[in-house]
């Protein structure tokens, strides 16, 4: 079956790309004709598989981990297409293996959707996992927030080497208590965390729903973190690890991306430590400072000689941090809200975001299938609206024409972001993600 399934999968992949089809289709085909393809291929990797999951930040964090490990001389396979379902991983493998199904890599670092990660780890137990956060996101798909936490706990339970947890998210941090200790065959647990001065910047889901001035319940003592984010500057950041504070410039923008940099650094340090060769710590910091935003996640394009930023928003925390990270002053603003399956159909979370920072300059353009829902929400925060058009292509064109002499920023849900990037690719240079 091996010699038949790989060539067929590669053929489907090529035809799919020529016809503009979805990146996961070849993976679906190879899963049907050769169910063991993914497990068999990934089992050959000397350092195994690392899974990155959680509600927010998977794509950029995975990109960071990959580039950090490459700075240490490792060959890394990743699901670069951004398809974070199991069939997306299989499709990405088809693009990297040779015609005999051999993969030239030391380790796989895979971004996986919370629910699909459960199916993946049942087939391929990871050696490492990084669990970022649990936030109220797409409740129509995953149910209550504790259900999402259960999905992440299952990933951790299948991990054989090292589990990296967010110390500041209580639903993630307490996963450690459910795991066997290393002495009886359980995984090592490491944490990434925040300096106390930054805790209010990164509220967890419970914090966002607490009434101002409400009593704070007693919390258990925090475990020590392998990497702590101490300070976030306009273009740099400080991290604490190994008993010292280190500073590095950062190309990434957005405070949420910088916290995820601490997560990526923690996982990369854990993987580098088991290679049998010395870790190049200076190389890790240099690589971290050079990571550019993943597509649509604070990505900055150039239109009419001025920047146009794309900021992905998918839940209250992400939108709040996006507004905080990218101040509106001096920028023309557009918001694009879709409610397709990949976005989540329930957009009631928009009412959990405060938009007062947009009040001074207003919002030039609203678009997407839920543009009028967004318009109603902005009216309640007294934010002026320039125009509303549910069709993304004409709305984007009008936005660019109307703000020709100003830098621009678009806050957008996932499928809206993909549509906007397709339109922008017709007028400017946009990174192609195959």
pLDDT tens string for the chain (434 positions)?
454 455 544 444 454 443 334 455 565 666 666 777 888 889 999 999 999 999 888 889 999 999 999 999 999 999 865 555 677 787 788 778 787 778 999 999 999 988 889 999 999 999 999 999 987 654 544 457 788 899 999 999 999 999 999 999 999 999 999 999 999 999 999 999 999 999 988 776 666 555 544 555 556 789 999 999 999 988 899 999 999 999 999 988 778 889 999 999 999 999 998 877 788 989 999 999 999 877 656 688 889 899 999 998 988 888 988 898 888 889 999 999 999 988 888 898 899 899 999 999 999 999 999 999 999 999 999 999 999 999 999 999 999 999 999 999 999 998 999 999 999 988 887 765 44
154 plus 263 within the same structural domain: yes
73 plus 160 within the same structural domain: yes
24 plus 99 within the same structural domain: yes
Contacts of 11 (CB under 8 A, 6+ apart): none
Task: Give the pLDDT confidence score for residue 136 in this predicted structure.
Answer: 66
Contact 188, 163 (CB under 8 A): yes
Rounded distance between C-alpha atoms, residue 296 and residue 326, angstroms: 14
127 plus 263 within the same structural domain: yes
**pLDDT tens for each residue of 62-93:** 999 999 999 999 999 998 655 556 777 877 88
Contact 433, 80 (CB under 8 A): yes
263 plus 311 within the same structural domain: no
69 plus 94 within the same structural domain: yes
Strand (E) or helix (H) holding 78? strand 76-78
219 plus 311 within the same structural domain: no
412 plus 382 within the same structural domain: yes
Task: Give the pLDDT confidence score for residue 71 in this predicted structure.
Answer: 95
Task: Give the pLDDT confidence score for residue 54 in this predicted structure.
Answer: 92
Distances 128 to 169, 270, 271, 283, 284 between C-alpha atoms, Å: 19, 9, 8, 21, 18
How many domains would you assign to the chain? 2
Contacts of 282 (CB under 8 A, 6+ apart): none
Distances 308 to 115, 304, 419, 424 between C-alpha atoms, Å: 33, 9, 15, 10
Q: What per-residue string of b and e applies to 213-238 under the rule 16 or more CB within 10 Å gives b?
A: eeeeeeeeeeeebbbbbbebeeeebb
Query: Read out DSSP for 227-276?
Result: EEEEEE-SSEEEEEETTEEEEEE----SHHHHHHHHHHHHHHHHHHTTSS
**What is the chain's alpha carbon radius of gyration, rounded to the nearest angstrom?**
22
10 plus 86 within the same structural domain: yes
Domain boundary among 257, 290, 323: 290
Give the global pTM: 0.81
246 plus 366 within the same structural domain: no
Q: What is the CATH number of the domain that holds 409?
A: 3.90.190.20
227 plus 321 within the same structural domain: no
Task: Give the pLDDT confidence score for residue 22 in this predicted structure.
Answer: 47
Task: Give the pLDDT confidence score for residue 145 in this predicted structure.
Answer: 79
* The length of the chain, given as a count of residues: 434
For the chain, the distance separating the N- and C-terminal CA atoms, rounded to the nearest angstrom, is 27
Task: Give the pLDDT confidence score for residue 56 in this predicted structure.
Answer: 84
Angle between the 86-96 and 25-33 helix axes, to the nearest 10 degrees? 90
Task: Give the pLDDT confidence score for residue 325 in this predicted structure.
Answer: 81
Domain boundary among 234, 263, 290: 290
Contact 164, 191 (CB under 8 A): yes
Instruction: Look up the domain containing 368 and give its range.
Output: 299-432
Distances 317 to 16, 48, 133, 201 between C-alpha atoms, Å: 36, 33, 11, 10
Contacts of 150 (CB under 8 A, 6+ apart): none
Rounded distance between C-alpha atoms, residue 229 and residue 218, angstroms: 23
Domain boundary among 290, 314, 340: 290
Q: What is the CATH number of the domain that holds 56?
A: 3.40.1190.10
277 plus 311 within the same structural domain: no
Which of 357, 361, 355 has the alpha carbon at shortest distance from 406? 361
């Amino acid at each position: 079956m091996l010699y038949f399934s790989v060539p067929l999968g590669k053929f489907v992949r090529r035809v799919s790309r020529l016809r503009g089809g979805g990146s996961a289709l070849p993976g679906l085909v190879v899963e049907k004709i050769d169910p063991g393809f993914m497990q068999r291929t990934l089992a050959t990797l000397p350092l195994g598989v690392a899974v990155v999951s959680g509600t927010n930040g998977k794509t950029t964090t995975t990109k960071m981990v990959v580039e950090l490990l490459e700075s240490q001389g490792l060959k890394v396979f990743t699901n670069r297409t951004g398809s974070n379902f199991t069939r997306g991983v299989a499709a990405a493998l088809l693009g990297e293996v040779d015609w005999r199904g051999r993969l030239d890599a030391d380790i796989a670092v895979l971004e996986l959707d919370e629910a699909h990660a459960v199916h993946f780890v049942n087939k391929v137990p990871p050696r490492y996992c990084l669990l970022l956060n649990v936030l109220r996101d797409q409740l129509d798909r995953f149910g209550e927030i504790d259900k999402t936490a259960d999905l992440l706990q299952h990933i951790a339970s299948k991990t054989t080497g090292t589990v990296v947890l967010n110390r500041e998210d209580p639903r993630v941090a307490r996963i450690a208590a459910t795991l066997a200790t290393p002495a009886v065959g359980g995984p090592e647990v490491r944490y990434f965390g925040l300096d106390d001065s930054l805790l209010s910047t990164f509220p967890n889901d419970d914090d966002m729903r607490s009434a101002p001035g409400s009593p704070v319940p007693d919390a258990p003592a925090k475990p020590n973190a392998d990497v702590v984010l101490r300070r976030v500057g306009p273009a740099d950041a400080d991290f604490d690890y190994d008993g010292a504070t280190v500073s590095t410039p950062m190309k990434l923008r957005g405070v949420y991306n910088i916290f995820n940099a601490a997560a990526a650094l923690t996982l990369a340090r854990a993987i580098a430590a088991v290679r049998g060769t010395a870790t190049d710590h200076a190389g890790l910091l240099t690589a971290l400072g050079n990571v550019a935003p993943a597509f649509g996640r604070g990505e900055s394009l150039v239109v009419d000689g001025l920047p146009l930023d794309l900021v992905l928003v998918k839940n209250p925390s992400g939108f709040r941090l996006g507004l905080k990270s990218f101040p509106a002053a001096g920028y023309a603003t557009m918001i694009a809200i879709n409610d397709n399956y990949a976005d989540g159909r329930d957009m009631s979370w928009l009412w959990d975001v405060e938009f007062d920072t947009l009040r001074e300059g207003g919002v030039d353009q609203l678009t997407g299938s839920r543009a009028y829902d967004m318009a109603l929400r902005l009216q309640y925060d007294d934010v002026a609206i320039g125009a509303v058009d549910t069709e993304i292509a004409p709305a984007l064109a009008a936005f660019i024409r109307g703000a020709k002499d100003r830098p621009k920023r678009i806050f957008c849900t996932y499928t809206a972001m993909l549509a906007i990037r397709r339109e922008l690719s017709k007028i400017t240079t946009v990174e192609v993600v195959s």
